[in-house]
Structure 1
Amino acid sequence: MKKDIYIFNGGKLVRKDNTLLFESVEGKKYIPVNNVESIYIFGEVDINKSLLEFLCTNEIVLHFYNYYEYYIGSFYPRECLNSGFVTLRQSEFYIDYNKRLFIAKQFIDGSVKNIIQVLRYYNSRSADLSQEIEEILQMLDSLSSQETIEQAMAIEGNIREKYYKCFNKIINDKAFTFTSRTKRPPKDKINSLISFGNSMLYTIVLSQIYQTNLDPRIGYLHTTNNRRFSLNLDLAEIFKPIIVDRTIFSVINKKIITAKDFNKDLGGIILKDEGRMKFVKEFNDKLETTIKHPSLENKVSYKRLIRLEAYKLQKHITEGEVYEPFIARW
């Protein structure tokens, strides 16, 4: 499987014959283009038109982040696999409110059930989360009766609030205390990791959608409006608990990231460059971790699971195969 490339240093990324070359003060590094799926740029990197044409020809997606860890945009090559038929079907399922509501509820159902799996995992180890699990299960029971997407999202919001309160029981480092979810800027270290991890996942999912016939501009849970992409936000909801949150708990509890890896900047807390690199390494390791898939003979990586999820949604829209979200079975 092709790999993702992460660039943290400043330098210049260029085409060199039929490969990629990154030049920085540390020297030259050649990157075989046939092994690359996406490139993530965090540093001050110069690029040119020749490089973009080369990336487009090789169907490589380029994602950009700024100093404050915010995703700022992607170079998304022409839609090589987009299908007019699939786009029309996606649009039909968006315009038909009942069809859209079903898909939106499935995304929320998958997200919440994976939240429960995460809580059960830590409850079986050191954290007493039995009461929180039971309360979240009760809230989830009311999801099916909600008649609007806004009502369904309100249920999810209440569940996430309850879930976030569990973080202090799961995390065993007093330097990391979580009070409430804050964004742009994140007000504490936990929020900084959540925002950064979620942003990374959104772009990972976007790259996986690019490999399907789906149009990432047409989402169901997140309203399709003036934002460039929304379907990646939808699919990411399912995987946030088992990829982003599990990575956060791991890097803190294993002391891979400590309080020294953060800076206070413009009223918020952000990761230093070294901390960002450590988080991305663990995040990528998580993506490459393989598990037994419930309906496949072979093990698959979490990254592959995301693409399989997109395929399932596509079959729901084009072939009438009822979409069921992936639920972790550890």
Structure 2
Amino acid sequence: MTAVYALQNTLYVLTPDAYAHLENDTVRIDVEREKRLQVPLHHLGGIVCLGNVLVSPALMHRLADEGKSLVLLDAHGRFKARLEGPVSGNILLRQAQHRSAWDGAFALEFARAIVAGKLKNSRNLLLRAAREAATADEQAQLNRAADNLAASLRAAAKAADLDALRGVEGEAARGYFAALNLVVKPQVREHFTLNGRTRRPPLDRFNALLSFLYSMSMNDCRSALEAVGLDPQLGFLHAVRPGRAALALDLQEEFRAILADRLALTLINRSQLGPRDFDEREGGAVLLNDSGRRTVITAWQERKQEEVTHPLLGIKVPIGIVPFVQARLMARTVRGEMDGYLPYLPK
């Protein structure tokens, strides 16, 4: 089955050697010289291509002209590139962002808020899992892991500098990922065990699933930052490196547990994904195959449509909009309109 389809105003092209091109005012997808899909361009907000997908120059130019995104992911689902038109972000906001990044005290407090959001949301996932644990022993292990995250929160609040804060966050992440195996239902653990966090490439099915979800989350966070005029390359917690969207990685942290990790566990525990949805490659790499990617993308888009009450705004919004809300809070913090950044902490 050809993995080419549109979901929630984003066109996903997953079939190797597919050809995306412009035909009048539509985007046409051909596979082996046969038309597989044709979508009016004005219906799309962007296109995501995974793996070896060909895109015509004419389509690239049209997307850039209309401010629509073209995102390229590799076969692992890892972000590779993004086509952008002229930068139209607020230059005054970006100037304020650069000043803030050079202010050591401001950067540390901003990064501390990011870590706190990540750890609190991760801890809540483990506490919820502990209440539903299969055995008393596993419940105790999950509660201990949650207690360790609480200790990490206290340590993060006292971290003297960014390096110390990153060390606390890294140690907490290792304990958290180790505990995730206990959140997987016993009957499917044979097929889904997280052997540490491996990325490039992922070395087991659980890691492959997480990497793919994190790539989609990263794209959404980057889009949110660009929408409000912030520079996604200049972060506070994540160090600045060429080609690294450090601020998008910062924003993503508070959403890892509540969006990506929780969805991964749902797909695994409900047996919506199984061994058949993954391929193993030479060297030990494990990747989602076309069937698996279709399942994950559909579930991801459905999850983003679920409404939640934002604790700060007090209104219901689709959870897929929350990164855009948080990006605005980041912008207000950088401008000095808020005393400090407030991460998203669902009740």
TM-score by length of 2: 0.89
Task: Give how far 1:292 is off.
Answer: 1.6
Q: Which runs of 4+ in 1 moved over 4 A?
A: none
Question: CA separation in 1, counterparts of 2:332 and 2:274?
Answer: 44
| Structure 1: segments with no counterpart, 5+ residues | none
Residue aligning to 2:301? 284
1:188 to 204, 217, 224: 204
What are the equivalent positions in structure 2 for 1:48-197 lying under 5 Å apart?
48-80=56-88, 82-126=89-133, 128=139, 129-172=142-185, 173-174=188-189, 175-197=191-213
Residue aligning to 1:238? 254
Report the residue type matching 2:213 in the other structure.
G
Give the secondary-structure state (helix, strand or coil) at the position aligned to 2:254: helix
Residue aligning to 2:323? 306
- RMSD of aligned residue pairs (Cα, Å): 1.9
Report the residue type matching 2:310 in the other structure.
H
Q: Is the 8 A contact 1:3 1:35 kept in 2?
A: yes
Residue aligning to 2:342? 324
Report the residue type matching 1:293 in the other structure.
H
Task: Give how far 1:187 is off.
Answer: 1.6
Question: CA separation in 1, counterparts of 2:98 and 2:197?
Answer: 33
Q: How many residues align?
A: 328
2:28 to 21, 36, 44: 21
Q: Is the 8 A contact 2:26 2:41 kept in 1?
A: yes
Q: Does 1:217 align with 2:253?
A: no
Q: Is the 8 A contact 2:310 2:346 kept in 1?
A: no
Question: CA separation in 1, counterparts of 2:62 and 2:235?
Answer: 29
Give the secondary-structure state (helix, strand or coil) at the position aligned to 2:80: strand
Residues 248-307 of structure 1: per-residue CA shift (max 9 Å, x gap)? 101110111112222221321111121122112212222222112223354212220001
Q: Is the 8 A contact 2:8 2:301 kept in 1?
A: no
Distance 1:136 1:229, change over 3 A: closer
Q: Does 1:274 align with 2:306?
A: no
Task: Give how far 1:133 is off.
Answer: 1.4
Q: Is the 8 A contact 1:33 1:58 kept in 2?
A: no
| Structure 2: segments with no counterpart, 5+ residues | 1-6
2:214 to 187, 193, 198: 198
2:264 to 248, 252, 272: 248
Q: How much identity, in percent, do the aligned residues show? A: 22
Residues 86-119 of structure 1: per-residue CA shift (max 9 Å, x gap)? 1110100111111111111111111111101211
Task: Give how far 1:28 is off.
Answer: 4.3
Question: CA separation in 2, counterparts of 1:35 and 1:108?
Answer: 37
Residues 179-230 of structure 1: per-residue CA shift (max 9 Å, x gap)? 3112212121111112222122111211222211111121111112212422
Question: CA separation in 1, counterparts of 2:167 and 2:244?
Answer: 24
Residue aligning to 2:4? none
Give the secondary-structure state (helix, strand or coil) at the position aligned to 1:34: helix
